[in-house]
Chain A
Amino acid sequence: MTAFARPEEISHHPLGPTPYVVRRRTIETPDTSTLVLTPAKGALPPTSLPGQFNMVYLYGVGEAAISIAGDPLGPNELVHTIRAAGKVTNALAALEPGSTVGIRGPYGTGWPLVEAAGHDVVIVAGGLGLPPLRGVLRELFTHRERYGRIEIIYGARSPKDLVYYGELQGWRSRPDIRFQTTVDAAGREWYGDVGLVTARIPDTRFDPAHTVAFLCGPEIMMKLTAQVLEARGIRDDAIWVSLERNMKCAIGICGHCQFGPDFVCRDGPVFPYRDVRRLFGVREV
């Protein structure tokens, strides 16, 4: 009989997960939940940057890379928004409060908020691309005076697929930013926009020479959006994208997440568009 290590015994290994307890679970959409976690032993979670990710391990099931969706300035909690899309994420998204998971991380690069200071900021998120940008939004709103115009566009499949619905109402009502929400299709109960996120860009106002753009969502969405933003005059090294790949080790060894010359887990997931644009056009990378 195999003797499994108890969760509290695993954390001593550098690649071993640290036990965290699910404190709250919010059902965002029919297939997406947000988990709020705290360390099982009461220690503080490690500091993270918006845009980084953790490897979230469900004992006996498996591990998945999940973006950190919490507030880096907020309480000492880890927040992960998880879409049930496979064996591990199905189980993670269904966890009830009191459940224990293992956490490795944080890993990867964050959004370049230092570069964004003093500039206009354009944020375009699609689908589950909003959670990795949630920490950025919190930072922008907390230190609003550090930034110029802030334009945010969030696209989803339908109104019922919008995450953070309660927060969206507050964000959209802020007078000091513009927050546009658009979906691919909707019924008459929807009063927002319908169409691609790129169709909302003509309505945005920013100074292209002094703008930083953060894009997160399906790669085709980021590619099309980057093209439109470039046509508006934003340089490709001022446009940042967050890539998603099948990450396993999360420390740049196993090669599962290789994207051209880079490992997404170690060199990303946040990249300047200039560095990856060529690969966006290569099939089967």
Chain B
Amino acid sequence: MSSTPKHETNLRLSEHRFFQGFEGPLVGLLQKEAVERTYAPGELLVREGDPADKFVLVFEGKVALEIATPGKPHLMIETIGAGDALGWSWLFPPQHWRLDGRALKTTRALVLDAPRVRAILDAHPTEGYAFVLRLLPVIAERLENTRVQLLDIYGA
């Protein structure tokens, strides 16, 4: 993994799909906390069970979300890519990752320190609420997709 120090990244949160159309100073405040990181193929961005201490926004590449089952190979349950946010475990207690996030391709992302993001959201509750409303559809879509996948629609 390589890192680009804060303030030196060319990646802009405002250009990420998650923040499209987001108004107010919040994005600027978060941008100051953002560190650009590049992950090599095979590298773990997050690991199941570890503290969920970062908010990751993918700008380029592909990340596999995997579940580790004792005694069985890892199962890849979803892939995310440019324009996607990686997980929400960092926002809600107990703030531990529930799955692995592994780069399938070279992946560039902006990574924000989760405690700092939560503190900024707490300090700006109106925008913090708008932020959560941005995140909820991501959660809802993944839940709906998971439900359809459970139907095993191609298996019948």
A binding-site residues for B, Cβ under 8 Å: 126-128, 155-157, 161, 182, 184-188, 190-196, 198-199, 202-203, 217-218, 220-221, 224
B73 within 8 A of A: yes
Q: Which of B91-99, B110-118, B119-127, B146-154 contacts A (4 or more CB under 8 A)?
A: B146-154
Once A190-B76, A193-B79, A194-B64 are accepted as A-B contacts, the answer to whether A127 and B149 lie under 8 Å apart by CB is: no
20 A-B pairs (CB sep. < 8 Å): A127-B153, A161-B154, A184-B149, A184-B154, A187-B73, A188-B76, A190-B76, A191-B104, A192-B79, A193-B81, A194-B76, A198-B145, A199-B78, A202-B17, A202-B83, A203-B82, A218-B154, A220-B148, A221-B153, A224-B148
The interface residues of chain A lying within 8 Å CB-to-CB of B76 are 185-188, 190, 194
The interface residues of chain B lying within 8 Å CB-to-CB of A192 are 79
Encoded as 1 (CB less than 8 Å from any A CB) or 0, chain B from 77 to 90 comes to 11101110000000
A220's nearest neighbour on chain B, judged by CB, is: B153
Cβ–Cβ contact A196 & B79, under 8 A: no
**Can you add 19 more A-B contacts, CB < 8 Å, to A188-B76, A190-B76?**
A127-B153, A127-B154, A128-B154, A156-B154, A157-B152, A184-B152, A185-B77, A185-B149, A187-B75, A188-B66, A193-B62, A194-B76, A195-B79, A195-B145, A217-B154, A218-B154, A218-B156, A220-B151, A221-B148
Cβ–Cβ contact A126 & B78, under 8 A: no
B75's nearest neighbour on chain A, judged by CB, is: A185
Interface band, chain B: 20 to 34
The interface residues of chain A lying within 8 Å CB-to-CB of B151 are 220
Once A185-B75, A187-B74, A194-B77 are accepted as A-B contacts, the answer to whether A199 and B153 lie under 8 Å apart by CB is: no
Q: Is the interface of B mostly helix, strand, loop or mixed?
A: mixed
The interface residues of chain B lying within 8 Å CB-to-CB of A182 are 79
List the 8 closest A-B pairs by CB distance, nearest first.
A127-B154, A157-B154, A218-B153, A193-B79, A186-B76, A194-B79, A195-B78, A196-B145
Expressed in whole angstroms, the Cα–Cα distance for A195 and B143 within the complex equals 12
Expressed in whole angstroms, the Cα–Cα distance for A193 and B153 within the complex equals 17
Distance to closest chain A CB from B73 (angstroms):
5
B25 within 8 A of A: no
Expressed in whole angstroms, the Cα–Cα distance for A127 and B154 within the complex equals 5
Expressed in whole angstroms, the Cα–Cα distance for A23 and B154 within the complex equals 28
B155 within 8 A of A: yes
The residue among A182, A194, A221 with the most chain B CB atoms within 10 A of its own CB is A194
The interface residues of chain A lying within 8 Å CB-to-CB of B156 are 218
Once A155-B154, A161-B154, A218-B154 are accepted as A-B contacts, the answer to whether A196 and B149 lie under 8 Å apart by CB is: yes
Cβ–Cβ contact A196 & B73, under 8 A: no
The interface residues of chain A lying within 8 Å CB-to-CB of B149 are 184-185, 195-196
The interface residues of chain A lying within 8 Å CB-to-CB of B104 are 191
Expressed in whole angstroms, the Cα–Cα distance for A217 and B73 within the complex equals 29
